[in-house]
Structure 1
Amino acid sequence: MARLCKDLAMRTGQSARQRVAVLVRDGVLPMELGLVHQLFGGARSPSGERLYEVRTCAVTGPGMIRTDADFPVGAPHGPEALEWADTVIVPASHEEDEALGPGGLSAPLARALDAARHARLASICTGAFVLAAAGLLDGRRATTHWLSTDRFARTFPAVTVDPDVLYVDEGWVLTSAGEAAGVDLCLHMIRRDHGASVATDVARRTVVPPHREGGQAQFIQRPVTEPGLTSTGEARSWALRHLHEPVTLTEMASRASMSVRTFSRRFREETGLTPMQWLTQRRVDRARELLESTDHTVDRVATEAGFGTGASLRQHFVAGVGVSPGAYRATFRGVGDGAAGDEGQGRVG
């Protein structure tokens, strides 16, 4: 219950700046440490105020930490930062992670993670080995870098490993795949805390995609179009401009001058999703933006996002976001329960 109350306070802006601690260990990947600071540090309220305070800490106390590059990094804080934090993020340390097994944490690290159990916990890449070794992932779904998923599954049989996704959100414990998926996970947490508009602004400033669903494939067979092959990019751009209209697979394939079968295969190779999965995700993204920035009825949001009917919007929104459109708007715009409950009459605000 305490966590639930804190979550609601965080989401509705009733608390001070949210506190994020990044736990670094010898062998840390500098990019993973930097991306946490870049993304959470760049989140701003509509009035321009910082929404997060980020601190770098080490279990051994303040000091210099070796990285997997040819330079060290400084950790200004010790394990007390883990008790201070609302969110604790564990980046990878390949020299330590691959050797971990159940209960295999050093005594100081085990004590530190035990003190952090009040917080939302997240890992990037093989940082998931740390959470699993502490028993925090037992009975949960989790992921890690695709090169390490087989070893992870063998080492931690109590964890349900999903090797094919970018990140897994299990509520107060989240795990992500490699470094780029760490960007997706951080944006997902920012979106969960403060809504799509804030997360999109952070992504825009950082020049990264604003939203990749956690269920998207880690390893995309053809991320760059090979010479002589036609990309599906133009069809995707066209579809984004016509989200409010009926968009069929045949139309998208025609835009790419391909047969439906070839287009579908190429689309999955380039994005990791089927064309209709991708289209639904983009429409849910559009619905989020409208719910945060307008007072449109649920039927109008459905029309402008391309779902056609309020019932269709609700079905896909709940499946993709986990809450109804009315509950989403109430969370991120402070709309009262009465407005959220008017969805049956076509109102969400």
Structure 2
Amino acid sequence: MLRIYRIDHVAVVTPDLDKHAGLFEGLFGFRRVSEWDNPSAGVRGVRFAVPGAFGQYWVVLTPSGADSALAGWLDEHGGRAGLHHVGAEVPDLDAAVGELESRGLKVTDFAPGRWVEASLSPPEHGPGVLWRLRGPGDLHMLGDESATPVSSPEPARPVLGILGIDHICQAFHDRDELARWYTELAGFVQVWRTAEDEIPDMADLVLNIPGSSICWEVITGRGEDSFVDKFLARSGPAAHHVTFQVSDWDAALAACEAQEVPTFDYEDGVKDGAAWKHTFIHPKHAAGVLVQLFWEEQPGVWVRSDKIPPPVGA
């Protein structure tokens, strides 16, 4: 089994680092930790600390140098910014590579003895979401060996008031198939799911990633005109969105309005007398990433613990 014991970061790639680094700093309230420009590794980047996320970072990358692999990635994606990979630590990199190979998962990029990059999705269903895995020892896996420590100034305008990264969502044609795969591959644990017919055009489930406060959601299309099926036809089993919790709903929406960032698909509800709300920021306003914001009056209201599936055979 592939042992992931800590999520280190979520990385986006953009053709305009300064613009999107400014967005995550100015609206999202992320705090700069380090910056680097490494043409030999083909990357320039900024690492941000995410409020409320202990040791988990948001990274913005752009190509640097003539032979940057990131330039090729941008070309493949029409020059558009987007989520590139999820970075994680494993206790034994060689064992991790062996596990990937035994399951037909191909390493697509690597630094010998330091880190490897591969999709962890079932290989027969396309590329999925890239993960970058590093072993113990050298903590650098972003071309940031000579990064310069920096700090962010106090934001000049209101920020979202983020409390942390809640989950990453992946679209897939069969939520249970992908959940079984991740459970067998890396010990993910299913902790929540909707009933098959609860939502008209989709069904979902949430998996806990061992050693991480970040969860993994899988969404599957239902019906004849599901947005999930449209996404899969366009992008394959890729990351669909990233979800952040905010501390104050009205303040978060006011920050979006102040910085002229629209939101859409607002929903709210009440469970057990406690309110919840969520909405989205379009990828064109968030470095190619569809961002979901949610607020809940009490912990566990938005994602209910009473939807934990029963044990097999129960």
TM-score range (shorter-chain normalised) is under 0.3
Structure whose residues are more often strand by fraction: 2
Greater length-normalized contact order (CA 8 Å, ≥ 6 residues apart):
2
Whichever of the two has the greater Rg, that structure is 1
Structure 1-normalised TM-score?
0.25
Structure 2-normalised TM-score?
0.27
